[in-house]
Structure 1
C-alpha cells in the first residue's frame, strides 16, 4: 500500500544515471575545463532565478516568529554539526575518511527550501513561518557554512579553503546573482510565474551538471577504487541515523518549549532537512575538485532518504490534523 511512496522520484533516478555516466565517461582535460565553466554559469543562473522567485512579503510576514526561527537555525547550524562531531566514534568506522568528511559537510549545510515548505503545507503546519525560516537558513548558510567548514573540516585535511576566502567565493558566485535576482524581481517574477518549469529545469539541470562535473573529477582520481560497497552500505546507515535523531530531537524540542502543533510541524521539517540545491554548489566552491565527488555523495543519499521519510511523516501529521478537526466538529455542537 505504501510502496509507491518509497520509490525514487525521477530526479533521483536522473542523479543515479548522472553518477553512472560520470563513472563510465568522465570529463577529462579540456572537456573537463569546459564543464567547469558551464557549471559555474549554471549555478549563477540558478541563484539568480531563486532570487527573483523569493517573495519578500512572505519573509516579512513570517519574520516575527523569532522563537521558532531561532530553534530551526539552532537545529540546522548547531545541533546537526554537534551530532556529526559527537557521533564520530560511531559513524567513522562505518565509512571511509572521505565519506565521513562528506557527512560532516552535510551536517553544516543550510536547510532545504522547496521540500521543507511543501511538506509543511501537506502536514498542515505554519507555512508562512516555514517560508521565512527555510529562506533565512539558506541566506545565513552562505556565511555560516564556510566558517563551520573552516573550523571543523580543515583539520581533516580535505582541501577546504579558508573561511573568509570561501565566503568571498560564495558571495561572488551565489550571493551576487541572488541579490541581482531580488533587485530585478519586479520584472522577472511575472515571467517565472507563467513559466514555472523554467526554474525547475535550471534547478535540476544545474545540480545534475555539478554532479557530473564533480564525479568526473573524482572518478579520474580513483573515487570508486577508494569507496567499497560496504562503505556505501555504512553510509546509508549513517544518513538514516542522523535523520532519525534530528526528526526526534526537533519534534521533542518543539513540544518541550510549548509550540503549537502547526509550529512543531514547521520546526520538524525545516530543522531536520538539508539542501541539495545549496550544498552541491557550495561543495564546488569550498573543496578541491578531486574531493567534491566523495563529499557530496552523503548529501545525495541523505537527500533521497529525507524525501521518502518526510513524505510519510507529512501524511501522518495531516491525518492527525484531519482527525482532530473531525473530533472538534463532533464535540462543538454538543456544547
Structure 2
C-alpha cells in the first residue's frame, strides 16, 4: 500500500524531515553547528553531482539539438513563466515569501535520477534523458540564480557575499567533481546505493535546517489551513500545466515518441536537490524555509504523478 502511495522512498523521507523540523527544530546555540553541517552536506552533494554527471555524454548528446534545446526552453523558459504567473496569482492571498516560492520553483533545473528513471519506465529515450538531466543541471547551477535575480526584483537581489557563497558552495564543488570524474566516477557508479544515500541525506539536512529556522520564526503561526490549501491547489494546477504543456510541447516540436517522453519528465520535473541548497545560499534561514514550501510540495507530488504516468505511457506504446 505504501509503495503505491509513495513510489519513491524519498517522499516519506521528506515528510519525516518536515515533521521532525516542526516538532524538534534547531534552536539557540545549536544553530551555527547545524548550519555548518548543512553547508558541508551541500558541498558534498554538488561535488558528487559533478562527479556523476557525464560530461562526455552531455557533449555528445547536444547533437540532438531539437530535444535538448526543447528541454532547456521548457525547463527555464516556460516553467519560469508558469512560476512567475503562480506567484502573481497567489500573492493577494499568501505571505509574500511563500508566493515568491512559486517563482523560485519555476527557475530550478530538472531532477536527474527520477526523471531518467521515469523515462525508462515509460519507454522513453533513456540515453537522451541522462544527457538532458545532466545538461539542465549543468546550466541550472548558473542560470537558476541569475533568472531568480532578474525576475524577483529586490527579493532576488544577490549581494556580493551571496554571489561568493553560490560560487564557493555550489559551483566550485561541482567543477571540482567534474575534474575528479576520471578517478572517482567509476567508484561512484560502482556504489550507486551509497551515493544515493549520501545525496538524500544531504538534501534532508538542508531541508531540516532551513525548515527548522522557519518553524522557530513561526511558519505554522503564519500559515493557516486556507493558505496551505491555496498552495496545494496552485501546485496541482501547475502540475497539470507543466506535464500537459511538456507533452504538448514535444508534439509541437514533432519529436519521436521516445524523445517526447524524455522531454515530458525532464521538462516538467523540478529538483529539490538544487532547490534546498540554493535557497540556503540565497536567503536567510527563516526565509528559506518559507520559500521552499512550494517546491517541497511540488517535488513530492511530481514523483507520485510520474510513477503513475510512466506505466500508462509504456502500455500505450505496446498497444
Deviation, 1:154, is: 3.3
Supply the distance in 2 between the matched residues of 1:181 and 1:58 (Cα, whole angstroms): 16
Instruction: Tell me how far 1:199 sits from its aligned partner.
Output: 0.9
Q: Hey, what's the Cα distance between the residues in 2 that align with 1:102 and 1:14? A: 21
Please tell me the root mean square deviation across aligned C-alpha atoms, in Å: 2.0
TM-score norm. by structure 1 comes to 0.89
- Render the CA deviation track for 1:180-235: whole Å, top value 9, x for unaligned: 12222222122223322221111111111111111111112111111112211211
* Residue 54 (structure 2) aligns with: 55
Name the CA distance, whole Å, in 2 between partners of 1:124 and 1:92: 39
Partner Cα distance (1:83, 1:50) in 2 = 27
Q: 1:164 to 1:59 in 2, by over 3 A?
A: farther
Matched, 1:115 2:111: no
Counterpart for residue 262 of structure 2: 266
Gaps of 5+ in 2: none
Question: How many Å separate the matches in 2 of 1:55 and 1:262?
Answer: 21
Matched residues in 2 for 1:54 and 1:78: separation?
Answer: 23
**Residue of structure 1 in register with 2:147 after alignment:** 148
- 1:157-236 matches, within 5 Å, as 157=155, 160-162=156-158, 166-236=162-232
Q: Is 2:255 the partner of 1:256?
A: no
Aligned equivalent of 1:246: 242
Query: Is the 8 Å Cα contact of residues 22 and 212 (structure 2) preserved in structure 1?
Result: yes
Aligned to 1:329: none
Name the structure 2 match of 1:326.
none
How far apart in 1 are the matches of 2:295 and 2:192?
26
Q: Is the 8 A contact 2:121 2:311 kept in 1?
A: yes
Contact persistence 1:161–1:287 (CA under 8 A): no
User: 1:80 and 1:10 mapped to 2: Cα distance?
Assistant: 26
Larger mean CA deviation between 105-114 and 11-20 belongs to 11-20
Following the alignment from structure 1 to structure 2, what is the Cα–Cα distance between the partners of residues 236 and 12?
16
SS in 1 for 2:91: helix
Contact 1:51 1:178 (C-alpha < 8 Å) held by counterparts: yes
Radius of gyration: which is bigger?
A: 1
Q: d(CA) in 2 for partners of 1:122 and 1:186?
A: 30
Alignment of 1:17-36 (within 5 A): 17-36=16-35
TM-score by length of 2: 0.93
2:287 maps to 1:280: no
Unaligned runs of 5+ in 1: 324-335
Q: Residue in 2 aligned with 1:311? A: 307
**Residues matched between the structures, number:** 319
C-alpha separation between the residues in 2 aligned to 1:302 and 1:60? Answer: 30
Supply the distance in 2 between the matched residues of 1:190 and 1:7 (Cα, whole angstroms): 31
Q: Is the 8 A contact 1:46 1:199 kept in 2?
A: no
Distance 1:166 1:79 in 2: 27
Q: For the Cα contact (< 8 Å) 1:62–1:131, is it kept in 2?
A: no
